[in-house]
Structure 1
Amino acid sequence: MSIRESNLRLQIGKWFAPTPALPVRIKRLALGRSGGRRYVAVEVSRYAGGTAIWFFRHREGNWQVFPPDIKRPALQLS
C-alpha cells in the first residue's frame, strides 16, 4: 500500500467525502501505549442521522477500517 493510501486524512476523505456543509469530526481517539491499539472514530452528521466509522492503525503505519491482527505468543519446535 502506498503512503498516499495509508494517510488517515485521505482515508477519511475516501469514506466520507466531507464538504463545508457536511464536515466530519473526531468522535473518539485512542493512541495506545506499549503495544495498545491505535484507533480513531470519525463521525459525520447527515440529515438522516449520524454515521461513524472506526479507523485502526496497523503495524505498517497504514490506517484501515478493520483492526490489525493480534500478535499472539507462539511456540516454535525444531
Structure 2
Amino acid sequence: MNTAQQSLRALVDKWLAPTVATPAHVTRFSRMNSNHRRYVCVEITRQTRMAIFFFRHDDGWCVFPPGAHGPTIGDRARASAG
C-alpha cells in the first residue's frame, strides 16, 4: 500500500467510514517513547465503540506501528557473497 498518497483523514474514512450521524473522534494522540514517532487514536461509536490507532511512518500513516529496521541486503552483503 502506498501510504504517502493517503492522508490520515483518508485512512480514517477507509477504516472507520464515519458519517454525520456517527462521526469519528480523535481520542488520543502523542509520540511513542521508543522512537518518538506520532500516533493518533480515532474512535467511532455505532452499536459498539471501536477505536483504531494510526501510526506515522516515514512514508505516511499506517494502521501498524513502525518496526525496527531489520536486516537488509547492502553492498557489504553482496561483496562477501560473491
User: Counterpart of 2:36 in 1: which secondary structure?
Assistant: coil
1:55 aligns with 2:54: yes
| Aligned counterparts of 1:68 and 1:31: Cα–Cα separation in 2 | 12
Which 5+ residue runs of structure 1 have no aligned equivalent? none
Q: CA RMSD in A?
A: 2.3
TM-score, length-normalised on structure 2? Answer: 0.71
The one-letter code of the counterpart of 1:43 is E
Instruction: Give the whole-Å Cα distance in 1 for the aligned partners of 2:50 and 2:17.
Output: 13
- How high is the sequence identity, in percent, across the aligned residues? 41
Q: Which digits, 9 at most, give the CA deviation of each residue in 1:18-51, with x for residues without a partner?
A: 1100100001011469x402100000011x2200
Q: Which residue is 2:17 aligned to?
A: 17
Residue number in structure 1 paired with 2:73: none
SS in 1 for 2:25: strand
Structure 2 counterpart of 1:23, which letter? P
Would you tell me which structure has more helix in proportion to its own residues? Answer: 2
TM-score (norm 1): 0.75
Q: Which runs of 4+ in 1 moved over 2 A?
A: 2-5
Alignment gaps of 5+ in structure 2: 71-75
Displacement, 1:59? 1.7
